[in-house]
């Protein structure tokens, strides 16, 4: 079981622009059968975790609302409407990670973001891999990819149409 931060980023390390928009990302070309595509990643995943801003973005921007089928934990102090498959939590990441592991039944865990939440898992030694699709754009500001100092080891890289895709292992020493 691997705990993976799978996300897309600008070249200068932002996962959303200062207006919390993903327009710089969603307009771009990526192949389902190319390296590190979402289509190849998704079947590995048994449970997910995300922060409140990411969850709100999905509710506001995805026409189907929350339509992921895996169980997911949303870290927040806000009141969200009840949603099948969603557990709202303020628990410590260690407790949530244990619950995710149990729910995932041997499959991998997806940390969806944002960056600081993933950093909280990394602080607890619970982040194994970082997969990033780098879009060919700089944003100059926004939500940071992973605002921690971590040592990573490049394990795999490739081009998927417009994207530079990289898979990193978090170094045990990092």
Peptide bond into 114 cis (omega under 30): yes
What is the spatial distance between Cα 91 and Cα 88, in angstroms, rounded to a whole number? 9
Strand, helix or coil for residue 90? coil
Q: What is the number of alpha carbons within 13 Å of residue 38 lying toward its C-beta?
A: 7
Q: Are 48 and 111 in contact (CB under 8 A)?
A: yes
The binding track of 5-34 with respect to ligand NAP, each residue x by CB under 6 A or -, is: --xx------xx---x-x--x---------
Candidate residues 114, 121, 128, 168; the one interacting with ligand NAP per rule CB under 6 A: 114
Q: Does 120 bind ligand NAP (CB under 6 A)?
A: yes
What is the footprint of ligand NAP within residues 128-147 (CB under 6 A)? 143
Candidate residues 5, 46, 54, 110; the one interacting with ligand NAP per rule CB under 6 A: 54
Task: Note the residues at the interface with ligand NAP (CB under 6 A).
Answer: 7-8, 15-16, 20, 22, 25, 50-54, 57, 75-78, 90, 112-117, 120, 143
């Amino acid at each position: 079981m691997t705990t993976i931060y799978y996300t897309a980023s600008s070249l200068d390390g932002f996962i959303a622009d200062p207006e919390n928009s993903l327009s710089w990302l969603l307009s771009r070309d990526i192949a389902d059968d190319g390296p590190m595509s979402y289509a190849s990643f998704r079947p590995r995943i048994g449970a997910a975790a995300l922060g409140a801003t990411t969850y709100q973005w999905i509710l506001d921007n995805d026409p189907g609302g929350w339509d992921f089928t895996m169980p997911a934990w949303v870290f927040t102090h806000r009141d969200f409407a009840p949603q099948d498959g969603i557990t709202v939590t303020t628990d410590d990441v260690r407790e949530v990670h244990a619950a995710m592991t149990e729910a995932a039944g041997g499959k991998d865990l997806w940390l969806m973001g944002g960056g600081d939440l993933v950093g909280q898992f990394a602080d607890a030694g619970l982040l194994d891999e970082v997969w990033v699709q780098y879009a060919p754009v700089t944003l100059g500001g926004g939500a940071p990819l992973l605002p921690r100092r971590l040592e990573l080891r490049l394990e795999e890289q490739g081009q998927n149409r417009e994207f530079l895709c990289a898979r990193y292992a978090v170094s045990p020493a990092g």
